[in-house]
Structure formats: C-alpha cells, structure tokens
Amino acid sequence: MFNDNIGVVNNALQSLGLTDIAIPWLIDGQLAFISILIAEIWSSTAVFAIFILAGLMAMPREPLEAAKVDGCTSWQSFRYVTWPFIMPFAYIAMTIRSLDIARAYDIVKIMTDGGPAGRTEILWTMIARTAYSDARMGLANAMATSPFFFQSCSRRCSSGNSRRPASRSARSGDHGREYRTSPQGPFPEGGHLIGLFLAMTIICLPGVWIVLSSLRPTVEIMAKPPVWIPRELSFDAYVAMFSGVGQGGIPVLEYFRNSLIISVTSTVIALAVGMAGGYAFARYRFRGKSAIFLGFMLTRTVPGIALSLPLFFVYAKIGIIDTHFGLILAYVALNVPFTVWLIDGFFRQVPRDLAEAAQIDGCTGGKPSGRLNFRWRVQASPPPVSSPS
C-alpha cells in the first residue's frame, strides 16, 4: 500500500495529478508514523464491526419499535436506544484493540522495522532487538514486564463499563414528547448506503489490489504511470505456485492443510475452554475471581515475539518442536484469555430473570443433563458472531 514504487497510495495520487514524485511514506519519519497509524486503523475496523454486529444481533426489537411508535427518528433511536445497548460491546472492543495495539509488533516490523532513525520504534521491536541482536536477554525480559502495570490499570478502568447492564428501553412519553418535532433523520435518504459503500471500498481495497497484482505480469506492476486495469490477465503466478517443488513451485496445499489443522483445532479447544470459563466468571462468585480474571487479561499484553525464546527452550526440552501439537498448544494458551473475556461479556447480557423463571417452571427437571441443556439453550443463545483464530 505505501511502497514507493508499486504502492496503491502513490499510484493513486500520481494518477489523480496530486503529485509528480513518489512520496516516501516509509522513509520520512513523520510520514512513516502516519502510515503505521493508518494501517492499524484499517486492521481495527473489521474487529469493531464484528463486535458491534454481535451487539446488534443480541438486541431485542421491542425498544426500537416502541421508539418508532413514539415518533423518534432513525438518529434519535440510534442515539438513545441502540447505542446505550451496544455500549458494553464497544467498551470490550476498544479495550481489546487498545491492548493489541499496545503490543503491536508485526505491522511495525514489516513496514519500518522501527525506522527511520528510531522514529517509529516501539517497545516490542526494541525488546526483540535487545534480545536477539544484542543478546541481552535479562534486559529484554525486564522491559517485557512493564506493560503488565498498564494492563492492570486499563483492566480496572474498563471493567466497570464493560460489565454494566444493557441499555435502557424506549419508554412511552420519554422520547415522543421531546423529539417528535423532527420527522427525518440528519442523513438524506440513501446516505447510509453511500457511507457503507465508501467504508467497504476502503476495507476491501488492499485485498483487491493484491488480487489484481497477482493476475498481472511484473512489467505492468512496476509500470509508471501505473496501470490500474490489467491489459492482459496472466495466471503464470498461480501455475508456478501449484506446479510442484521440483518445477519451482511451493507445496501450498500442504501448507494450507497445516494451517487448517492448527487453526480449527486451536479454535475449537479455545472456544470449549472459553465457554466454560466465561460462564463461570459471569455467573458464579468465588474467592480470587477478580485477581484470576485480571491474570488472564495480563497475557494480552505480551506479543508472540516476547514468548518465542522461552517457548523454544520449553518445547526443546519436551520434544514438541516442529509439531502440530506444539503450535496448537501455543495458540490455545494465547486465545483462551481472549475467549473467556469475550464470552464473559456476552453471558452478562443474558438477564438472570430468564434463568430463574425457567428454573421455577421446572426446566432443569432436577437432572444434570437437564440443567446442562437448559444452560446451553438459554445462556449461550444467541452466540457471538466472532471467534478467536
């Protein structure tokens, strides 16, 4: 995207006549910082959309229908009915993404490697350089402990907001008398569709550019001025990819099979453990609950690069290096805290009155299987639309 020669940003600016030269996005200090910020915002958009979609799917329609009867516009219904309901989901999304950005490593490493002249250096790139380039493991581990204090403060500040009850309902006479004077919302008809189209264009543009680049010869990719529409479609790259190792290709199917085994297995195990843990934290009281939950979330501050060397030593001792089991074990350990936190937030949105009323009606039947069936149906429905991977 920000490459000087073939990046879509420079190509677009030059095609529109806004500049005649390639802008050094990743070389200039200030521009490099802005480029990383844009990349992080782009990668966070889909995560926020998934969380908000989960909140909207769990929201009952009765409050919106009551607000519509009372004369509220679309904007007023969103501001005073929908947004208070999905606010806990937004708090969870903001907290998780804040912690992910605080431990960001891969984007900075790939785009600038902390340069130029340390302008985009972050804690985790410095830790990796200190540990692997300077061979100062003690100092690197000491530096890696500092985010735990930030995580502790962040968790305490966000726990009250993310666990409070869901929204207020639209009440008759509350919105109707106050907002009946505005018959239409602030957006013109069809404006939301235009906004949705622009947002989806921004989100999908990098993927579309990658696909187009894979179908063009190298001459067109490097051409100046840029060639936006391929003059000829070339599948040479895909032919070479599937041609086999001996013919210059790569074993992509084997790699895909490994990725599928590791991702599916680790996700299923993390969901099973996270469902049980999230239900326990949301519905039961026990000694040390807050401390244990905080300990789970402290692991979100540690990136994979900080765990690579300790994991290597441990895996070498027990003999699981270069195995599916070793990767699955690592991914499960990293994903379980996220899953527990996510499922805990969804379980807290289910009213306790629903479970108590069902028990009074005899849904449990006094049998463990009945209790399990009831809890699964009542507590876990509707399920979250996202899962760790």
**pLDDT band at residue 146 under the 50/70/90 scheme:** low
Mean pLDDT across the chain: 75
Percentage of residues in the chain having pLDDT higher than 70: 77
Please compute the mean of the pLDDT values over residues 269-278 and round it to a whole number. 92
Q: What does each C-alpha distance from 134 to 126, 139, 142, 331 come to in angstroms? A: 10, 10, 15, 28
| Band of pLDDT at residue 119, cut at 50, 70 and 90 | confident
| Cα gap 325→33, rounded to integer Å | 38
Q: What is the pLDDT of residue 155?
A: 52
pLDDT of residue 40: 81
Which positions ≥6 away from 88 have C-beta within 8 Å? 55, 161, 162, 163, 164, 166, 345, 348, 349
pLDDT score at 265: 95
- Round the CA-based radius of gyration of the chain to a whole number and report it: 26
Determine the pLDDT at residue 271.
Answer: 92
Q: What is the pLDDT of residue 50?
A: 81
For position 268, what pLDDT does the model report? 95
- Residue-range domain boundaries for the chain: 8-186, 252-379
pLDDT band for 207, please (50, 70, 90 cuts): confident
pLDDT at 264: 94
Considering Cα of 128, then 131, then 133, then 136, what sign does the dihedral take?
Answer: positive
How does pLDDT run across 1-10, given as a tens digit for each residue?
787 777 788 8
pLDDT recorded at residue 247: 62
**Percent over 90 (pLDDT), the chain:** 8
Q: What is the pLDDT of residue 136?
A: 79
Which of 264 and 349 is assigned the larger pLDDT? Answer: 264
Judged by DSSP in three states, 365 sits in coil
Contact partners, residue 180, CB within 8 Å, separation at least 6: 70, 71
Which pLDDT does position 301 carry in this prediction? 67
Nearest residue to 334 via CA among 258, 286, 257, 273: 273
**What does each C-alpha distance from 10 to 20, 23, 110 come to in angstroms?**
10, 7, 19
At the topology level of CATH, where does 8-186 sit?
MetI-like fold (1.10.3720)
Q: Indicate the CATH number for domain 252-379.
A: 1.10.3720.10
Q: What is the mean pLDDT of residues 132-154?
A: 68
Give residue 318's pLDDT band: very low, low, confident or very high (50, 70, 90): very high
Taking 50 as the threshold, does the pLDDT of residue 169 lie above it? no
Residue carrying structure tokens 């769990």: 58
User: pLDDT tens digit string along 8-51?
Assistant: 888 788 778 788 788 888 888 788 888 888 888 887 787 788 87
